[in-house]
Chains A and B, each alone.
Chain A
Amino acid sequence: MSAKTGKRRRQKRYAMAMDPRQCVGCAACVLACKAENEVPEGAFRDWIVDEIRGRYPNLQREFRSERCHHCSNPPCVAACPTGASHVAEGGTVLVAQNKCTGCKACVVACPYGARYVHPKGYVDKCTFCAHRTARGQDPACVEICPTNALTFGDADDPQGSLGRLLASRAHRKLKEEAGCRPNLYILAKGGQ
């Protein structure tokens, strides 16, 4: 809705789709993130999961690039005693460093292990590269991916690249039973 109609602008829901059919587990996303966000040595905001299922010789292998799920019902934000963890533009879950006490309630609240304690004492995590998306750029991990396995966008915009992708491909989310309403979509390997 535009400002002209007098209606409130629709809230964006920033989300990411990752395609295990494309991902080869090269970890370029991990390194791009580390460089872009000056993530300290030994810490990571995103990571690669390599999952193998089945019984030899019928094995299935899936690579996934994972990060914070920027949940719509984020348990980390509910657990934060100081308001440092908060929901920002597009539903992105961020940490205000100057308010963080390093109590780690958010770290243990998160069922995805997406948060870590920065050596400077505050808790740090994926921001969906808010500083880049504000300029209209993709997050660093998305931009660098050599196989285009990652798509970032507004999941509630049916005309956007992410909306169209999610409409055309079957997908799942991880640990949905934890009730956090995560926003990281794993596209199905089979199908079209």
Chain B
Amino acid sequence: MHEIYTMNTNPLTPAGAVMWGWEIPVYLFLGGLAAGLLIIAALLRSRVDEPRAIRLATLAAPIALSIGMGALWLDLAYKLHVYRFYGSFQLSSPMSWGAWLLVAFYPVSVLMYLSLHDSESFARLCGRFSLLSRLEGLQRFARARRVGVERAAILSGIGLGVYTGILLSALSARAAWNSAVLGPLFLVSGFSTAAAALMLLSRGAQIHGALRRLDVVAIAAELALIGLFLIGLLSGGATQQRAAALFLGGPLTATFWSLVVVTGLVVPLSLSLLERPLKLRPTAVIPVMVLIGGFALRWILVSAGQLS
């Protein structure tokens, strides 16, 4: 027998209780989505001839990030002190890195959006939103340096995507988060949810093919990284092995394997691969499943660390 009672424990934080609720997974999901959208926009702009979809992706990135930051703000217990994030820089705190990274993401996505317009289409845009005409100089700059802007977009997208995972893996005293794989895993997952979201937003045949190919690669990489994550925990010390057990028979087993692995990865991957040979019509099924799996991955991993 081995029983532990705690008396007079703090009911708000009994060890193992979940202090980060829905807000953090929502933020990590939307942050990864935003990162993926900007990377995809930069990757595909010169490869597919669907400027509307690329513009949509670029515009959706900062909007998704803003909604995510709204959720993050809701999670703060001292909401008026939010400005404190920008009063210092803490080298050891990924959350501090993230706070400053978010600030860099907005100007890059604005530049990216401006670089997608030529002077003609920008003039049309200014006709609709007269305030935009003040950005004419910036637009000419972004257009002239569009390769540089694309690179900045890809870099800040990778930074943001990796950061959403590092945020957890840096809290290494909690065994389930003590894995360097989380950074790349969340980046790839954000990338694949972004491809899925864009499939829903834009139905053009050319971009659909490109997105499907990107998504297949991303999902395959994600499956490999999830395997590495579990192997890493299983080959760690006793506490990490206990953390792995959360997914292998423990309380998170059913949700993890059904929502993340089967719904989010294996079924969409199989359907995507079969789409061409079986001449399946593209539907909303694959993207919706990928989005569900991406969100479930974050929700489950945020809880897992707090349970380990």
Binding site for B on A (CB under 8 A): 25, 27, 30, 42-45, 47-56, 59, 75, 77-84, 98-105, 107-117, 120-123, 175, 177-180
Chain A residues near B17: list those with CB within 8 A.
Answer: 113
Question: How far is B171's CA from A79's CA once the two chains are assembled, in angstroms?
Answer: 7
Q: Find out whether the CB atom of B95 lies under 8 angstroms from the CB atom of A81.
A: yes
Chain A residues near B7: list those with CB within 8 A.
Answer: 25, 27, 30, 47-50
**B22 beta carbon closer than 8 Å to chain A:** no
Instruction: Give the residue name and chain of the A residue nearest to B99 (CB).
Output: A81
Q: Find out whether the CB atom of B170 lies under 8 angstroms from the CB atom of A79.
A: yes
Instruction: Give the residue name and chain of the A residue nearest to B84 (CB).
Output: A82
**B90 beta carbon closer than 8 Å to chain A:** yes
Pick the interface stretch among B53-61, B70-78, B224-232: B70-78
Chain A residues near B8: list those with CB within 8 A.
Answer: 27, 30, 44, 47-48
**B85 beta carbon closer than 8 Å to chain A:** yes
Q: Find out whether the CB atom of B6 lies under 8 angstroms from the CB atom of A48.
A: yes
Distance to closest chain B CB from A118 (angstroms):
8
Q: Find out whether the CB atom of B5 lies under 8 angstroms from the CB atom of A47.
A: no
Chain A residues near B5: list those with CB within 8 A.
Answer: 49-51
Q: Find out whether the CB atom of A117 lies under 8 angstroms from the CB atom of B77.
A: yes
Q: Find out whether the CB atom of B13 lies under 8 angstroms from the CB atom of A113.
A: yes
Instruction: Give the residue name and chain of the A residue nearest to B97 (CB).
Output: A81
Q: Find out whether the CB atom of B4 lies under 8 angstroms from the CB atom of A51.
A: yes
Chain A residues near B1: list those with CB within 8 A.
Answer: 52-56, 59
Q: Number of B interface residues, CB 8 Å?
A: 50
Q: List 13 A-B contacts (CB under 8 A).
A: A43-B10, A48-B6, A48-B7, A49-B6, A53-B2, A82-B90, A82-B96, A102-B79, A112-B15, A114-B13, A117-B12, A117-B77, A175-B239
Chain A residues near B93: list those with CB within 8 A.
Answer: 78-81, 105
Q: Find out whether the CB atom of A101 lies under 8 angstroms from the CB atom of B239.
A: no
Distance to closest chain B CB from A122 (angstroms):
6
Chain B residues near A110: list those with CB within 8 A.
Answer: 173
Q: Find out whether the CB atom of A104 lies under 8 angstroms from the CB atom of B20.
A: yes
Chain B residues near A82: list those with CB within 8 A.
Answer: 84-85, 87-88, 90, 96
**B16 beta carbon closer than 8 Å to chain A:** yes
In the A-B complex, the 7 residue pairs with the smallest Cβ-Cβ separation, listed nearest first, are A102-B77, A113-B15, A121-B78, A102-B78, A81-B95, A81-B96, A78-B92
Chain A residues near B95: list those with CB within 8 A.
Answer: 79, 81, 103, 105
Distance to closest chain A CB from B77 (angstroms):
3
Chain A residues near B80: list those with CB within 8 A.
Answer: 121
Q: Which of B15, B75, B174 contacts A109, CB < 8 Å? A: B174
Instruction: Give the residue name and chain of the B residue nearest to A178 (CB).
Output: B173
Question: How far is B76's CA from A51's CA once the two chains are assembled, in angstroms?
Answer: 34
Distance to closest chain B CB from A80 (angstroms):
6
Q: Given A121-B77, A121-B78, A178-B239, does the pair A107, B4 have CB atoms closer than 8 Å?
A: no
Q: Which of B20, B85, B172, B238 contacts A75, CB < 8 Å? A: B172
**B209 beta carbon closer than 8 Å to chain A:** no
**B305 beta carbon closer than 8 Å to chain A:** yes
Q: Find out whether the CB atom of A113 lies under 8 angstroms from the CB atom of B90.
A: no
Chain A residues near B66: list those with CB within 8 A.
Answer: none
Q: Which of A104, A113, A179 contacts B77, CB < 8 Å? A: A104
Distance to closest chain B CB from A65 (angstroms):
10
